[in-house]
Chains A and B, each alone.
Chain A
Amino acid sequence: MTRGRLWRLGLRSLLIQCSWNFKQFQGLGWVYLLLPELKRLYPDRTLRPIVQRYLGYFNSNVFLTPTIAAAVLSLEYQQRREQPVPMSPQAFSEAVMAPFAAAGDAFFWGGLRPLCCTLAVVAGFLGYWWSPLLFLVLFNLPVFIVRLAGPWFGYHRGVMVVQLLQDYRIADMALVLKRMAVVVLGGIAAVLCHQPDVGVAFSLLICLSLLLTVFMSVVLLRRGFPLYLVIIALLLMAGGIDYTFFIG
């Protein structure tokens, strides 16, 4: 496969979740992704049973699906040329979709997105109007690279593409990103309670009450209290304090 066709695979993967459903998940999208290349490989009459094998249940991380697809296609090419393959393309895709989902979800949804969002929120509360753009750029840059470079690695390494998960220690990188997100969350709290001209005693009071609120909310949310109840209760409490001490 040429580089252009691998890129097209990456672009086509933008559309794999169009028909997401609860029975086959990305199943139909998976066939949509593979179809142009399978058509090249197999003449019209033999194509049906091949596609039949892929049309079913499939679900993995959206950003890593093109990588899996490229590896599967490299196996298909080898099979077509009657070279020996370590495992059948279907068995490969079934074996890797869950682990890739685990690694990809941990990295992109569990690590990268919280970090980018919190950084953008800090910028927003500091008054910078471009904070939404900052978020989009920070998140989409790594995603873009993975979406375009993934198919290339997948095609050239074939089955051994799974080694990448270990080589780059994706799971541990996700944890590092998560820790950084926690630090930035502390930063958000600091930005929220920083008031320049109120004196030491009052600033201390603000900081303590804010940290206490965060701590209490964490405890309540972990106990399973719904988000809206926590917020409404806090609003009523703070409103009451405001009314008794500062207005009434």
Chain B
Amino acid sequence: MATSTPPRPSHPREAVESVVIRFAGDSGDGMQVTGSQFTVETALAGNDLATFPDFPAEIRAPAGTTFGVSAFQIRFGTADVLTAGDAVDVLVAMNPAALKVELRDLKPSGTIVVDTGAFTERNLAKAGFPTNPLQDGSLAKYRLLPFDITKLTTDAVKEFGLGTKEAHRCRNMWALGLMLWMYGREREATLGWLQKKFVKRPDVAAANVAALNAGHAFGETAEMAEHVVGYTVAPARFSPGVYRTVSGTEALAWGLIAGMRAAGLSRMIFSGYPITPASALLHTLANLKAFGVLTFQAEDEIAAIGAAIGAAYAGALGVTSSSGPGIALKTEMLGLAIATELPIVLVDSQRAGPSTGMPTKTEQSDLFQAVLGRNADSPLAVIAPRTAGDCFPMGVEAVRLATKYMTPVIVLSDTYLAHAAEPWRIPEERELTRFPVRFRTDPTDFHPFLRDAETLARPWALPGTPGLEHRIGGIEKDFDTGHISYDPGNHHRMTQTRAAKIAGIARDIPPQDVALGEERGALAVVGWGSTFGAIHEAVRRARGDGLAVSHIHVRYLSPFPSNLGELLRRFERVLVPELNNGQLVQLLRAAYLVDAKGFNKIAGKPFHVAELGAAIREHAK
């Protein structure tokens, strides 16, 4: 390709450790694909990275408005990158609204790349700027790189004869090209992706390629030598292996398939009802039929879990997925799965609530709902992956626990985990431990609620098996025969048996480890779920400052690992940061009588490392 002129010798690249870039524009400007492609090229360049896509619920909000701004943040670097970063080094703002919304997170000396072509009077008014910030001096403390990206793009794609609208849609590729140049990334993967994406529109493909190359060449040439400097970010040190980037959604989908195979099951019935942000899992699995996955878009949330329970009853892996409000609708069905002791997996991609809340914003506020939110005494297993990559083993684990203990298992993911991407060392299937299920086939002395002495699980007896014909349902069963029973003592016994079965899982999961630091000390910072990266980094910094702080991250939330209480008691203080109003902290206090304190953020956004650092310093005193 004729695009790779060598870097200008007069402008040597500056080496940096880590960078945070945020691409921001209208929700129709293609910021998510721009960010995703930058992520791919960055991963291929060998950097560690973390991403944070942040987009509005409106599919196409009125153009130019602040509530229609869509952003994608990536942090990449040479050392461990655990979060997408607190503050932004480079803000790419495709219009005034994006500048208005995203500027608050830019570092004081940060760089702003703007498309001056979008800073029209009309767009400025829509974003609520009384004067043009590019001219009124209000951006003086930043390094402003104003380019007429609209015009530069239009010129670059002129030869392909697109309409104005289609030509303008290539602006994101121009911006991507410039940023790829700025950080010395390749373009090959993106060029291939464009050709594939627009295979039916060769003219659009060619125009996007031209825009990408033009942005890149713009960095190369002397047109703006005074302003633009290139950087290098040395590759990170990864352990040997084959890597890819993975989002939580992909890793979970693949983990569930791996779990199904490890269990020796040939079918997964995955049923869901469209809901943000959970639908992505349905979409991902809908394309994996060759792996034995049948997806079913049900008429509502209740039907979705009903089909999963029916599938489990008939011997498939039954999986359903939703977000908070949808999980609430599934609650009665969860009770049925608990009462009939059938193995299903329920994935909850949590979002900000209550009610509709903020559907595209992240939160960890369904922990109570998952652990406690049902009528009657109705325990089940709850687990929570802590990173995008961790969704894979936890998907496998959900299947193992469900099938071994004949119980529903809730996997608590969230908006952030579902979308966030990170480099992931790809495991090989042969590394996975197998846990083949044994369906009951022997009619001798069979009844459907006979229990395994060790696990207390009932047999999985499938319709179609001669001699095992039996009836199950939501009505209480007799412990000894499995028939309907209203006997008072029997209900007491059955309730305690169901509880003991779930409690017994604690013997079958890894003991709680300390993710960073000693197993005793002044302060334990205890998190769960997607806050792992931010807490880890904050604890690392605090330890660097000499504080006796440790990071404990709980992946098993019901039941807790059996050593958790003892471990917490070895610390003088316990701090529980959560993206909710204090849920794990209450469960820990209730379970262990420890004086745990909460640190809570309920903003629809992940923790910043700095705010966690401040909380840690305060509590470690």
Partners in one complex: no
A residues whose Cβ falls under 8 Å from a Cβ of B: none
**Hey, which bits of chain B sit against chain A, CB under 8 A?**
none
